[in-house]
A and B are shown apart, each in its own frame.
Chain A
Amino acid sequence: MDAQRKYQFSWELLGDLDLGRPNLGPTTRLEVYRLMQFCFRDVMEQQLGTEKTDRIFFDAGKLAGEKFYQHVLTKTDDLNEFVQQLQTALREMNMGILRVEKADAELGSFIFTVSEDLDCSGLPELDYEVCVYDEGFIAGLMESFTGKPFKVKEVDCWCTGDRTCRFTAEVVS
């Protein structure tokens, strides 16, 4: 890791919103978030291609998940407590409604659903899943919690006709 990279992430980059936005507050409309994201996708895809764009968004999501675990959640070894912390945090930050459909900690196999998520809830139907960023986000969270590498894939998405985004997470053996 380069110590002097220009855009190297740190949590401080999120800034002091009380200071910065004393009038407007820390929230905005979801469309603003999506506007930025999908424009990013568009431009990246034009310049880098679809696969690389997906890769970049996955990695970004993973980095965000790791930092989110470090700075928002309280470290725990208990799965249920981890899930509840995450559920609460995502709900309170209006990021989505996290639910668990399957959790086999021994095998390292999980199925999560995120309803009303940031990326795709309410989007028109497409033929593909769009929550690549969320895949990475979940991977970052699971790897931070378990210390093991995880493979996360969105199997159902609003854009594919579901009304909740379903992610499988498997530990990489």
Chain B
Amino acid sequence: MDKQGLVELRQLLDAALTDGVEPDVAWRSRFKATIQSLGSSPEANAAQFDFAIAALFDAVFANAPMSNLPDWFQSNQKLAELYAALLELRQFTLALSHGDLARALRLKGFTAGALKNLQASLRHLTWQTQMIARGDFNQRVEFMGEFSDAFNAMVVRLEETLNQLKHHESELAERNTALTREITERQQAEEKLRASEELFRSLIQTSPDGVCITDLTGTLTFSSRKALEMVGYSDWADIRGKNVLEFIAPEFREQATVTVRELLKGNYTGVAEYKAVKKDAQVFWAETKMEVLRDAAGAPTGIFFIIRDITERKHAEEIERDLRILSETLRDTAAVLNSTLNVSEVLDFILAHLHRVLPHDAANIMLIDDDGLVIIPRGHGYADPDPKDILAQRFQLAQIPVLRTMVETQSPVVIRDTRTSAQWSNLLPGAAWIRSYAGVPIAIKGKVIGFLNLDSGTPGFFTIEHVERLQAFANQAALAIENARLYAEVQHSAITDSLTGIYNRRHLMELAARELERARRYNRSFSILMLDIDHFKTINDTYGHAAGDCALQVVVERFRKDLRRSDVLGRYGGEEFLALLPETNTDQAQLIAERLRNSIALTPIETGRGAIAVTVSIGVAMWEAVAPPLLRAETLDEFIERADQSLYQAKHAGRNRVFMLNTTVRQPVVK
């Protein structure tokens, strides 16, 4: 084998494969010559040469290399080796182009070495990119020209970007930490606030007092359940947006407005009381504490109200006040009643003080007189018609069912509606306006002596409390009336004659002295009659003392009938009477005396012993200012003595006559 020929052959192939020299005619010619030099026929060598060229050409340029190579090709070691090397290079570069860096290239030489160098560089680059991906930005590619510059610039930029990202990340992390901390603090604050609000809400909602909040215009912004209940609502939505003044009674709104105004100025602290209005218009007493709500800057933002229903307390206070007033009134009444024995004063005082403890439109006191008639000594509030018409009324007890009931039961009566009660009877003039009534009996030792009555124009006005208080008054009145009556009786007994009921001598003399003094002071006429029953001892002896007493009583009765109201009749002695005739001159006195005499003389007196004829003798005396001093009686005794002397003359003249001494001549007093 010609080594030089082989070297030439190799050079030719290198030129074609590596240097890219086209296998032109010159190249083919040289190739052929080289083959030939290797010891074969020119023709065969040419054909083989052509084939070999074609095969090698396909191995480099064709999509698929030749297969089924002839034996001579494969038996040519160098050729076969070259062809195999080309195929391997082909496979290696293909794999390399697909990114397969693991394929080994078992060739030596420049070309294979360069390809393997490229493969090694790519492997290193792969490792470097893996390191960069792990964050190692110190990786740099060297000695790879333009790629090194681009790659290294990319790494630097990646590092810068990563650093920026890290910086941003760090900032974000810091911000996040700060935000997280702030969020945590805020959450804690919110939690505290929520807990505080929850506590506040629980306290508010469980408080027995109502709580509400308004803005500065008074518009409700919050109401606790209790506050809603207080005003009769169940749903907050129903009162949201309403003004708090809507729930205050109209008469208290002005006060409430002023209070809030002062509160906002800082001039008000404390508790306000007013009437509140419910949804159904019911009213209740409320006690309110108020506080101004302020923002962080101290500016007012609303009003905070704590509301307590004090209706019961108010009611209790009213009751206590009423009871106190009642107690004071009763005490005062008792003091007054204990200090007077005058029935009229007692009645006046009772009626006047009723209004302090008992509301009513009209009131009256009824008494049952000795004849069983019901009289109305006192009354007020009955303006129509004339109140005096009320006081002038007299009724039979049986005419008034309600009074009858009280007498029978000795218990109070309350009539809620006079129009529907069978107990009521409109006997009082102008009483049609009365719609409700409360009456209590005034009783002493089990005996009803009168009634204390209250009237109202409102149905159902009077309550059990009213009746109880009225009864307390009636009890005091009963005692006072009884005391006054007893006193009057005692007084009457002290000044009256028990048999005839006219004044006794002692009181008669007091009255006579009073009348004489009045006549003397005012220079008025004043006459007296001395009356004596003729033969009274004989009557007693003949008919008995009982008949005699009866005669006395009848005589007195007849005298009373014929005497004037202004005249005073008294018993001077056993059968002697003295009549005081104020403002009466002689002629008038004699006329009256004659009338009295006739009233006895003309009609016998019926007694238990039959009819008795009775006469009287009458002496007349007159005191008048015009009488000469010598003839004017200076003293009462002298005056009465004169009448007595006149009587003596009447007796002396035959009895059953009237005699008057001559007033122009002063007659000597005959003892």
B108 surroundings in chain A (CB, below 8 A) = 125, 160-162
B136 surroundings in chain A (CB, below 8 A) = 80, 84
A125 to B112 Cα, complex, angstroms: 12
A136 to B482 Cα, complex, angstroms: 150
B120 surroundings in chain A (CB, below 8 A) = 99, 101, 113, 115, 156, 162-164, 166
Given A97-B142, A97-B143, A115-B120, the answer on whether A161 and B107 have CB atoms closer than 8 Å is yes
With beta carbons under 8 angstroms apart, the residue of B113, B116, B117, B127 that contacts A103 is B127
Nearest Cβ on chain A to B85's Cβ, whole angstroms: 11
Q: Is the CB of B143 within 8 A of A161?
A: no
Q: How large is the interface on A (under 10, 10 to 19, 20 to 34, 35 or more residues)?
A: 20 to 34
Nearest Cβ on chain B to A77's Cβ, whole angstroms: 14
Q: Is the CB of B109 within 8 A of A161?
A: yes
Given A163-B113, A164-B120, the answer on whether A80 and B127 have CB atoms closer than 8 Å is no
Q: Is the CB of B113 within 8 A of A162?
A: yes
A113 surroundings in chain B (CB, below 8 A) = 120, 123-124
Q: Is the CB of B123 within 8 A of A91?
A: no
A84 surroundings in chain B (CB, below 8 A) = 136, 138-139
Given A100-B127, A113-B124, the answer on whether A156 and B116 have CB atoms closer than 8 Å is yes
With beta carbons under 8 angstroms apart, the residue of A91, A101, A115, A125 that contacts B117 is A115
A101 surroundings in chain B (CB, below 8 A) = 120, 123-124, 126-127
Enumerate A91-132 residues with CB–CB distance to B below 8 Å: 91, 97, 99-103, 111, 113, 115, 125
The answer, yes or no, to whether A158 is at the interface (CB within 8 Å) is yes
A156 to B117 Cα, complex, angstroms: 10
With most chain B CB atoms within 10 A of its CB, the pick from A97, A111, A113, A166 is A113
The answer, yes or no, to whether B114 is at the interface (CB within 8 Å) is yes
A111 surroundings in chain B (CB, below 8 A) = 123
A113 to B118 Cα, complex, angstroms: 12
Q: Is the CB of A80 within 8 A of B131?
A: yes
The answer, yes or no, to whether B121 is at the interface (CB within 8 Å) is yes
Q: Is the CB of B127 within 8 A of A102?
A: yes
A158 surroundings in chain B (CB, below 8 A) = 113
Q: Is the CB of A100 within 8 A of B124?
A: yes
A80 surroundings in chain B (CB, below 8 A) = 131, 134, 136, 138
Enumerate B115-158 residues with CB–CB distance to A below 8 Å: 116-117, 120-121, 123-124, 126-128, 131, 134, 136, 138-139, 142-143
Q: Is the CB of B142 within 8 A of A91?
A: yes
- Give the residue name and chain of the A residue nearest to B134 (CB): A80
With most chain B CB atoms within 10 A of its CB, the pick from A102, A125, A161, A163 is A163
Enumerate A149-171 residues with CB–CB distance to B below 8 Å: 156, 158, 160-164, 166
A103 to B108 Cα, complex, angstroms: 26
Nearest Cβ on chain B to A141's Cβ, whole angstroms: 17
Nearest Cβ on chain A to B125's Cβ, whole angstroms: 9
A100 to B130 Cα, complex, angstroms: 11
A47 to B548 Cα, complex, angstroms: 204
- Give the residue name and chain of the A residue nearest to B117 (CB): A163
Given A80-B138, A97-B143, the answer on whether A162 and B117 have CB atoms closer than 8 Å is yes
Q: How large is the interface on B (under 10, 10 to 19, 20 to 34, 35 or more residues)?
A: 20 to 34
Enumerate A70-85 residues with CB–CB distance to B below 8 Å: 80-81, 84
B114 surroundings in chain A (CB, below 8 A) = 163
- Give the residue name and chain of the B residue nearest to A99 (CB): B124
Q: Is the CB of B112 within 8 A of A161?
A: yes
With most chain A CB atoms within 10 A of its CB, the pick from B117, B120, B139 is B120
A45 to B134 Cα, complex, angstroms: 47
With beta carbons under 8 angstroms apart, the residue of B116, B134, B139, B143 that contacts A162 is B116
Query: Can you list, as one digit per residue, whether each of A10-48 has a CB less than 8 Å from chain B (1) or not (0)?
Result: 000000000000000000000000000000000000000
Enumerate B163-221 residues with CB–CB distance to A below 8 Å: none
Q: Is the CB of A163 within 8 A of B116?
A: yes
A164 to B321 Cα, complex, angstroms: 122
- Give the residue name and chain of the B residue nearest to A111 (CB): B123
A125 to B110 Cα, complex, angstroms: 9
- Give the residue name and chain of the B residue nearest to A161 (CB): B108
Enumerate B488-539 residues with CB–CB distance to A below 8 Å: none
Nearest Cβ on chain B to A138's Cβ, whole angstroms: 15
A99 surroundings in chain B (CB, below 8 A) = 120-121, 123-124, 127
- Give the residue name and chain of the A residue nearest to B141 (CB): A99
A100 surroundings in chain B (CB, below 8 A) = 124, 127-128
Nearest Cβ on chain A to B138's Cβ, whole angstroms: 5
Nearest Cβ on chain A to B663's Cβ, whole angstroms: 168
Nearest Cβ on chain A to B514's Cβ, whole angstroms: 147
A53 to B107 Cα, complex, angstroms: 28
A162 surroundings in chain B (CB, below 8 A) = 108, 112-113, 116-117, 120
B121 surroundings in chain A (CB, below 8 A) = 99
With most chain B CB atoms within 10 A of its CB, the pick from A84, A91, A113, A162 is A162
Q: Is the CB of B142 within 8 A of A125?
A: no
A125 surroundings in chain B (CB, below 8 A) = 108-109
A81 surroundings in chain B (CB, below 8 A) = 138
- Give the residue name and chain of the B residue nearest to A127 (CB): B108
A166 to B131 Cα, complex, angstroms: 20
A101 to B121 Cα, complex, angstroms: 8
Query: Can you list, as one digit per residue, whether each of B22-55 has a CB less than 8 Å from chain A (1) or not (0)?
Result: 0000000000000000000000000000000000
A129 to B108 Cα, complex, angstroms: 12
A115 surroundings in chain B (CB, below 8 A) = 117, 120, 143
B117 surroundings in chain A (CB, below 8 A) = 115, 162-164
A156 to B134 Cα, complex, angstroms: 29
A58 to B128 Cα, complex, angstroms: 29
With beta carbons under 8 angstroms apart, the residue of B113, B124, B138 that contacts A161 is B113
B131 surroundings in chain A (CB, below 8 A) = 80
Nearest Cβ on chain B to A125's Cβ, whole angstroms: 5
- Give the residue name and chain of the B residue nearest to A91 (CB): B142
A98 to B124 Cα, complex, angstroms: 9
- Give the residue name and chain of the B residue nearest to A165 (CB): B120
- Give the residue name and chain of the A residue nearest to B114 (CB): A163
- Give the residue name and chain of the A residue nearest to B143 (CB): A97
A160 to B523 Cα, complex, angstroms: 186
Nearest Cβ on chain B to A5's Cβ, whole angstroms: 40
B124 surroundings in chain A (CB, below 8 A) = 99-101, 113
A167 to B127 Cα, complex, angstroms: 15
Nearest Cβ on chain A to B360's Cβ, whole angstroms: 112
Nearest Cβ on chain A to B160's Cβ, whole angstroms: 19
- Give the residue name and chain of the A residue nearest to B127 (CB): A100
A103 surroundings in chain B (CB, below 8 A) = 127
Nearest Cβ on chain B to A71's Cβ, whole angstroms: 22
A93 to B404 Cα, complex, angstroms: 146
Sample (28) of A-B pairs whose CB atoms are under 8 Å apart: A80-B131, A80-B134, A80-B136, A84-B138, A84-B139, A97-B142, A99-B124, A99-B127, A100-B124, A100-B127, A101-B120, A102-B123, A102-B127, A103-B127, A111-B123, A113-B120, A113-B123, A125-B108, A125-B109, A156-B120, A161-B113, A161-B116, A162-B112, A162-B117, A162-B120, A163-B113, A163-B114, A164-B116
Chain B residues at the A interface, C-beta cutoff of 8 Å: 107-109, 112-114, 116-117, 120-121, 123-124, 126-128, 131, 134, 136, 138-139, 142-143
List 4 extra interface pairs beyond A81-B138, A99-B120, A161-B109, CB under 8 A.
A99-B123, A125-B108, A161-B113, A164-B120
7 tightest A-B CB contacts, nearest first: A161-B108, A99-B124, A163-B117, A163-B113, A101-B123, A164-B120, A80-B136
